[in-house]
Amino acid sequence: FFTLMKDIVNPSSMGRGMSLVEAGRGISEIAGIALGGASIILLSDKFIPLIVLVSATSAAFGIPSIERGRKTAQKKYGFSHIFKAIKIILPFLLIGLLINGLFVSIEVYASGLFYKVLNVGPSYYTLFMLCFSAGGLAGGLLGVRISKRLENPAFIASAMAFFGLSFLVLSVSRVPYGDVLVMVPLGMVNSLTNIPLMSYLVKIIPNEVLGRVNSVTTMFLASASPVMAVVYGLLSRVFPIPTILLLIAGLLAISSVPTYITIKKLFKLTESSIKAAMDS
């Protein structure tokens, strides 16, 4: 997807493009949570055939199409060249791995947080997840207007500190609506952080290897989710959920300093510098 996006979107508009991706993701998540919850409540006896029908309909509309992109001079690069590019952006990937891994805790612990710690019903959990997606949608729409200003290491480092503060609130709060409301700014800042990181990464990776580099980075970043989900499941058998969330808050806050240093170096890279490293 990002390979095609780079091929057809002007580099100066990449930030706006990524903002629309975040907004689209927010709309999709909100619609999915709302429709899924409503169908379970109102059509519980027909839920399984309904979800099969929706999946089949989605697959039927997923007809491949050809998009004509700009023709670029192609140079054959092997996997040794790919890993040279990966090596340059490895610090960024490690930060992404950390963020992805820590954010998985929301999905793992949210239901337990409301049911066991706050002692409230599932409606709060639904609102909790909806507010995160609503924040992501708001961040995407805001990013369309301010995408140029987001490419700032200080902003991204501050966002990491804000993530830590949000998890701190989740760990100490005993007011259900307080936890729900925290998710709106958390989702918004998360969306606004993703926009400059992904747009800049797409801009600096050469077209000839973007698809393969994206495959490696996606596999690298996505691996945090299942691994950390297992880790969090094991930790919850030993420590209370608020204690684990407090630990995550500390890790996020501390990581803001190395994040600033790493992102500052990343924003100095250009596509030509990546190409030069690959050709060396």
CA atoms within 13 A on the CB side of 223: 8
Output the average pLDDT for the chain.
86
pLDDT attached to residue 51: 84
Q: 105: which 2 tokens? A: 């805790």
How high is the pLDDT of residue 55? 87
CA 253-255-261 angle, to 5 degrees, is 130
Q: Which residues of 74-105 are buried (b: 16+ CB within 10 A; e: fewer)?
A: eeebeeebbebbbebbebbbebbbbbbbbbbb
Q: What is the pLDDT of residues 50-81, one digit of tens each?
A: 889 988 988 888 777 665 555 554 567 787 88
Answer yes or no: is pLDDT of 5 > 90: no
Chain segment 124-157, per-residue pLDDT in tens: 888 898 999 999 999 999 999 998 888 899 999 9
CB-based contacts of 271, cutoff 8 Å, min separation 6: 203, 204, 205, 206
Mean pLDDT of 196-218: 85
pLDDT digit string (tens) for 226-267? 888 888 989 999 999 999 999 999 999 999 998 999 899 888
To the nearest 10°, the Cα dihedral for 10, 12, 15, 18?
Answer: 0
* Structure confidence at residue 211 as a pLDDT band (50, 70, 90): confident
